[in-house]
Structure formats: C-alpha cells, structure tokens
Amino acid sequence: MNLEIITPDKKVFAGEATAVTFPGTEGQFQVLNSHAPLVSTLGRGDVVVDTGAVKQVYTIDGGVVEVLNNKVLVLAEAIL
C-alpha cells in the first residue's frame, strides 16, 4: 500500500509499506494491504511503518489517518 506521513512543515514519509501500526485515540491499531476504508483520529505515540525490509518508527503528537483504496494518508500535528 502507498503511505504518506505529512506534518504542517514537511512530508516525513512517502512510499510503499506492508503494514502500519497507529496510536489511535481509543487504542493502538494496525492497517495492512487492502484494508477497508477508514478515518480515525490519532493520539500521541509511535507510528510504526513496516516496509517489508525494515521497520521505521515516527513518534507523533496526534493527528488523523485516512485509509482508502490501498492509500494511507497520515496528517500528523508534529513529529517528536
């Protein structure tokens, strides 16, 4: 799936991912390839991006995520 992580200042990540784990405001959740459409708020915590080869961790200070048609867009308030 295609993933973009964007803050008000810059684009932090853009590329392919096999799984992404998010710090939802109601608890942690994971998005995999071909996930159902979803919009969720995010709390402070780690966004773990699994590209298949490596795992990258970005600590965010809240935001929102949209999943639609194998595209994941994360609008993060800030990267800590």
Say what the pTM is: 0.92
Which residue ranges make up each domain of the chain?
2-76
Domain 2-76 part of CATH 3.30.70.270: no
* pLDDT tens figures, 31-61: 999 999 999 999 999 999 999 999 999 999 9
Please list, in sequence order, all residues whose beta carbon lies within 8 angstroms of the beta carbon of residue 56, skipping any fewer than 6 positions away.
13, 48, 49
Q: Write the pLDDT tens digit of every residue in 53-65.
A: 999 999 999 999 9
Name the residue among 64, 76, 80, 55 with its Cα closest to residue 24: 64
